[in-house]
Structure 1
């Protein structure tokens, strides 16, 4: 472990406010959480397209993609999942500081882990979006055949089957993908961002 006594924080020559002013919009995290198959990545990417058209700079951090690189050394134990989210939180904070909107699509099953990310950024910089979808519907979709593997005992510690998912206590938004189209869900988020004067 690094000796913190030998580490010094260096202030940046360009501030977050200056980057935001240049970009013409605020910077913040939209944290999509929900069961596998609920539609997190689909909604995040559709929202990114909408923001791109509106000339709002954003980037999607997807759970599977990040585990191909930054977090490829982590498994799926409770401890490793917490570390996965901690790292993503720190990376997301850097995106916010750079003046970008970061869209994260992670199951992130534990409230404590999500709250820790919220606490490392400023108020209004963390928007928790609960992508709500019933377990039955997620299993029907099962785009990666993960539920099928989990039910067969071939995949351990799978959220919703043999590992818990803690629904957000007080999310900024709840998006019910059981009941609404991708376009309707994206519009709901855009309306919220406009109401909060973030875009």
Structure 2
């Protein structure tokens, strides 16, 4: 119903509907309807580019009324009882230093504890031993040669397969990094 009334009001303003006596009486008696009538005419004039060169638009009374309706904000008075800066200035760096020392201590103790609880047996001479990425620990020595026979060839074939897998993975990672870098560069350049 309200939408039909708005459409009828718009049609009256655009001279697409006849203005009857009931509408005239409503325009005379209802201030909101009269203001709306003026706004619709102003909108139509703007849309048809028929605005006058100068237009008197006095909104001071409405702004003053709106300000009067606003509640007053009562702020507490500022007090001069501030904390002394000297004491605050002294304790702040001390507290920062204490926090940094605590974090460093936790990091050192955590690394030591993490390293001490390893399930992998520690070799007697760490220079002569290594831990491979997969499998078990194998001693490394100048005296130890590769196993001979069929078992030696199987071990060498397995090692060669692992090395090739690492090399392929490395090449793939490099390609992915290059692709990501190219995408970032193309997104960073303005079009």
Q: Which category describes the TM-score, using the shorter chain as reference length?
A: under 0.3
When you count helix as a share of all residues, which structure comes out higher?
2
Q: Which has the higher contact order (CA 8 A, sep 6+)?
A: 1
TM-score normalized by the length of structure 1: 0.18
Q: Which has the higher strand share?
A: 1
Provide TM-score, normalisation by structure 2: 0.19
- Structure whose CA Rg is larger: 2
